[in-house]
Chain A
Amino acid sequence: MAQFTLPQNSKVTEGQAHNATSATTKNARTFRVYRYDPDTKENPRMDSFTIDLDKCGPMVLDALIHIKNDIDTGLTFRRSCREGICGSCAMNIDGTNTLACLKPIDEVKGDVAIRPLPHMPVMKDLVPDITHIVAQYASIEPWMKTESQAPARERLQSAQDADHLNGTDGKGPSACILCFCCSTSCPSYWWNGDRFLGPAILLQAWRWISDTRDEATGERLDALEDPFRLYRCHTIMNCTRTCPKGLNPAQAIAEIKKLMVARQ
């Protein structure tokens, strides 16, 4: 069976509580953060940090940085741009995946629970191992493939065709930042991630399939013609619901499935 419960070494225990508020704190909030230390090999735990929101910025990432700077320097998480363009700080906040830098603390009611992206091997604290999903990305050969001779200038495309990639609202597949919030939100990817490509990678596959300049559409579809790689998608819609950039991987996968029938 697909394992619906966590394996023994992954069961989460209750961790330490840190209180960084004082009598003068007006705006206290508790963050419950998933911790795993690979050096001790102990089971993961949920530590709680009660902090003064007036001492940090408005986003969940600001709170994490405040905790790391002032309370527990060991806290480990990925972050870079802090403006939703690098995709590093993708994590599970309050039961859904999103970017910590784009998630206002205000939007969460009660304690803020923060965990790594779901159903991934954890390297440390909030840092998952994304080796496999990145290899899956490479496996769809995400670059333009052409047979015809390269023109003297760039390969041309009409404005409408470019809209397929960019989206008329700027939310087309090329706006994807590969944060993997969507793939790790998908139950099908949880149970069959070893073979199912998952929404993020399929959205990227669609980005190349729908590119009018790419000449390998047939081979790309051949590679996806598989009960696991593509057809594990059951339109559960978690991907679209969770994408912090407002993209629609579910729509992209539906377009691929339509093409599969159209080419029969």
Chain B
Amino acid sequence: MSADPRPLSPHLQIWKWSLTMALSIFHRAANIAVAAGVVVLTWWLAAAATGPAAYDQFIMVLSSPFGKLILFGFLAAVYLHLFTGLRHFLMDMGYLLTIKTADQFGAAILLATAFFTVFTWFFLTGGM
């Protein structure tokens, strides 16, 4: 953009990170992970539509340790995105817009994400 001979002052390199800044990035990353997860789901459905052989092959991949890891990551991404999304929603309504409340709520949703992810994981694997 710039034909400017002037140097650009340092930015990301020197900025002191905060929780709200990190949460904004997490929200994005989780969003991309959830979208990727829905692509995997599409693959699953397409395999099912193709026939039993393709379906069994897909299930084999997803039940492998690697598949389980993906599943766990997906769960965590869903919960993280759910809570950060809720946070964005509340901020849009005009709440949580002071530094203190934003930080407290931010810490709370990180804990909630960890709790719900582990809870759901045990719920699912226990039921299996």
Query: A–B direct touch, CB within 8 Å, in complex?
Result: yes
Residues of chain A whose beta carbon lies under 8 Å from any beta carbon of chain B: 4-7, 9-10, 12, 34, 36, 38, 41, 43-44, 92, 94-96, 113, 115-123, 128-129, 185, 187, 190, 194, 234-238, 240-241, 248, 250-251, 254-255, 257-258
A34: chain B residues at CB < 8 Å are 9-10
Nearest Cβ on chain A to B71's Cβ, whole angstroms: 29
B52 within 8 A of A: no
B11: chain A residues at CB < 8 Å are 118-119, 187, 190
Residues A115 and B15 in contact, CB atoms below 8 Å apart: no
Residues A121 and B6 in contact, CB atoms below 8 Å apart: yes
With A95-B15, A118-B14, A238-B20 as contacts: A36 and B7 at CB distance below 8 Å: yes
8 Å CB contact of B6 from A5, A115, A123, A254: A123
B1: chain A residues at CB < 8 Å are 194
Given contact pairs A117-B9, A248-B97, a sample of 19 additional A-B residue pairs in the complex whose CB atoms are under 8 Å apart: A4-B12, A7-B8, A10-B9, A41-B5, A92-B10, A96-B16, A115-B14, A118-B10, A121-B6, A122-B6, A129-B6, A190-B11, A236-B24, A237-B102, A238-B20, A241-B99, A254-B94, A257-B92, A258-B92
Q: Bound complex: CA of A12 vs CA of B10, how far in Å?
A: 8
Chain B residue, CB-CB nearest to A36: B7
With A94-B16, A115-B14 as contacts: A235 and B9 at CB distance below 8 Å: no
B7: chain A residues at CB < 8 Å are 6-7, 9-10, 36, 43-44, 121-122
Residues of chain B whose beta carbon lies under 8 Å from any beta carbon of chain A: 1-2, 4-16, 18, 20-21, 24, 88, 91-94, 97-99, 102
Chain B residue, CB-CB nearest to A194: B1
Chain B residue, CB-CB nearest to A185: B15
Residues A113 and B18 in contact, CB atoms below 8 Å apart: no
8 Å CB contact of B14 from A95, A187, A241: A95
What would be 7 A-B contacts, judged by CB atoms less than 8 Å apart?
A10-B8, A43-B7, A121-B6, A190-B11, A237-B102, A250-B97, A258-B94
B10: chain A residues at CB < 8 Å are 6, 10, 12, 34, 92, 115, 118
Residues B99 and A237 in contact, CB atoms below 8 Å apart: yes
8 Å CB contact of B91 from A116, A119, A235: A235
8 Å CB contact of B98 from A41, A94, A116, A240: A240
With A248-B98, A251-B97 as contacts: A187 and B21 at CB distance below 8 Å: yes
Q: Bound complex: CA of A257 vs CA of B94, how far in Å?
A: 10
B99: chain A residues at CB < 8 Å are 237, 240-241
B21: chain A residues at CB < 8 Å are 187, 236-238
Chain B residue, CB-CB nearest to A8: B7
B93: chain A residues at CB < 8 Å are 254, 258
B12: chain A residues at CB < 8 Å are 4, 187, 190
Nearest Cβ on chain B to A123's Cβ, whole angstroms: 7
Q: Bound complex: CA of A255 vs CA of B92, how far in Å?
A: 8
With A115-B9, A251-B97, A258-B92 as contacts: A121 and B4 at CB distance below 8 Å: yes
Nearest Cβ on chain B to A75's Cβ, whole angstroms: 16
Residues A118 and B94 in contact, CB atoms below 8 Å apart: no
With A95-B14, A238-B21, A258-B92 as contacts: A120 and B97 at CB distance below 8 Å: no
B20: chain A residues at CB < 8 Å are 235-238, 241
